[in-house]
Amino acid sequence: MVSIGVLGYGVVGSGVVDLLQKNGDKLRQKLGVDLNVFKILVKNLDKHKGRSPLLTNKAEDVIHEKVDIVIEVMGGIDPAYAYVKKALVMKKHVITANKDLVAAHGEELMALARENQVCFAYEASVGGGIPIIRPMTDSLAANDISQIAAILNGTTNYILTKMYKENMDYKAALQEAQRLGFAESNPESDVMGYDAARKLSILSTLAYDQKIDWKEIDVEGITHIDAQDIKYAKKLGCVIKLLAISKKKGDGIFAAVRPVMVSEKGPFGQIDNEFNGIMFQGDAIGEMMFIGKGAGKLPTASAVVGDIVHIVQNHKGKYGKVIVERKQPCHKWENPFQWMLRIKTDDRYKVMGSISELFSINNFMFDDAQDKGEVICVVEIENELSGYEKLRHLEAQGYIKGIKKIMKLEEIAS
């Protein structure tokens, strides 16, 4: 029998316990052993009255001599970090879905796991139910990966889908994502793009064999996206997605998280709701995309239970390479792209004149009657640095009250 301690009984923790129960027979047949939940840690026992006799509010009941595998699905850094370290030192295998923890302390915890001859597995920390960590560490290891482009946050993708397809307002869509268990306990992490940046840092570190710190990734969230942006994106045959992109550029690495307008019919344009999509460019495999549910109870539990199976089948403490070399990513997009600009002004004609002088214009698209005080257009940009330089010139003209820009990509060029 394999004894499992679970830290956390929220969306993911309860999903893991339910899934182990639901598919217990099938797992027993596959593995030849029983998977038995020993104890489950929660913060507030009163909240869970009558739900399970295994609940406790004492961590030492879970990180216990009799336990073989500790599953950390509490979230946050404290006390999760201390609990995971304690479990590894006690030579327990550890599985986590906690990207905050993996992005901040992953390398140290992998090294500690190796030292103690146990596994530190984190499949659910990126892409929810999508198997992506093990493909990156094992199956795709023969490739030199040059680029990752991905939708990595289910909550923001759900919000943007609802705003686009059902004209739902941002706040209502966020509340729905919270109700469905997609959002973090502090959803700022989702909507400000930090969650996607953490996941991009985990994937990029594995892809490029150099530590990419999530705090050094250029991040823009979706809080400023409004119904007008969605309306203009639609007019252009586009949909707005929060994309996480990293790519090798000579000796450097570009890494950013941004809302981007992509073609409605393209590979990212069709990934809706809580689904994630992760596209790689490898020298042997070429382009490859993984799509699936990136958030939610059972999809995430599926990845956690997959890690249990992996540990039981291998049991050697080999899982997870330890990356020590650090790399600071650069933030500026170096390929041609377009910006949709929304410029607030009292003097539209002057602004249009200035834009025409500074930029090559693809399209002026505002509606005279509706879009009062705004000039809306799509302009061609050679690279981001030159684009910002031109914006500075535009702002210096004085009759501009504010500029909003959203990147538009025809394709994610390598």
Ligand X SMILES: N[C@@H](CC=O)C(=O)O
Ligand Y SMILES: NC(=O)C1=CN([C@@H]2O[C@H](COP(=O)(O)OP(=O)(O)OC[C@H]3O[C@@H](n4cnc5c(N)ncnc54)[C@H](OP(=O)(O)O)[C@@H]3O)[C@@H](O)[C@H]2O)C=CC1
Interface residues with ligand X (CB under 6 A) are 128, 153-155, 182-184, 190, 195, 294-295
Among ligand X, ligand Y, none, the one that 201 touches (CB under a kind-dependent 5 to 8 A) is: none
Report how far residue 231's alpha carbon sits from residue 402's, in angstroms, rounded to the nearest whole number: 19
Taking contact as CB under 6 A, which single stretch among the options 26-34, 73-81, 315-323, 388-396 is the one that binds ligand Y?
73-81
Report how far residue 339's alpha carbon sits from residue 165's, in angstroms, rounded to the nearest whole number: 23
**Cβ 150 to ligand Y, closest distance in Å?**
15
- Figure out which of the listed residues 44, 49, 65, 171 binds ligand Y, where binding follows CB under 6 A: 44
> What are the structure tokens assigned to 377, written together?
């257009």
296 binds ligand Y (CB under 6 A): yes
161 binds ligand Y (CB under 6 A): no
Q: What residues act catalytically?
A: 199
Question: Is the N-terminal amide bond of 259 cis, ω within 30° of 0?
Answer: no
**Cβ 187 to ligand X, closest distance in Å?**
8
Among ligand X, ligand Y, none, the one that 190 touches (CB under a kind-dependent 5 to 8 A) is: ligand X
> What are the structure tokens assigned to 15, written together?
């999903």
Q: What are phi and psi of 293, to 5 degrees?
A: -70, 120
Cβ neighbours of residue 172 closer than 8 Å, sequence gap 6 or more: 162
> What are the structure tokens assigned to 93, written together?
């295998």
Taking contact as CB under 6 A, which single stretch among the options 2-10, 217-225, 332-340, 384-392 is the one that binds ligand Y?
2-10
Residue 333 CA neighbour count, 13 Å, CB half: 26
Q: What residues numbered 127-146 form the site for ligand Y, per CB under 6 A?
A: 128
Q: Report the run of H or E that residue 297 belongs to, with start and end.
A: helix 297-314
**Which CB atom, from 35 or from 63, has the smaller least distance to ligand Y?**
63
Report how far residue 68's alpha carbon sits from residue 34's, in angstroms, rounded to the nearest whole number: 12
Residue 137 CA neighbour count, 13 Å, CB half: 15
**Cβ 169 to ligand X, closest distance in Å?**
19
Residue closest to ligand Y when measured from CB atoms? 10
Report how far residue 150's alpha carbon sits from residue 242's, in angstroms, rounded to the nearest whole number: 8
Q: Is 13 annotated as a binding residue?
A: yes
Q: Which residues are annotated as a binding site?
A: 7-14, 99, 184
Q: Report the interface residues with ligand Y, using CB under 6 A.
A: 8-13, 41-44, 47, 73-75, 79, 97-99, 124, 128, 181-182, 184-185, 295-296, 300
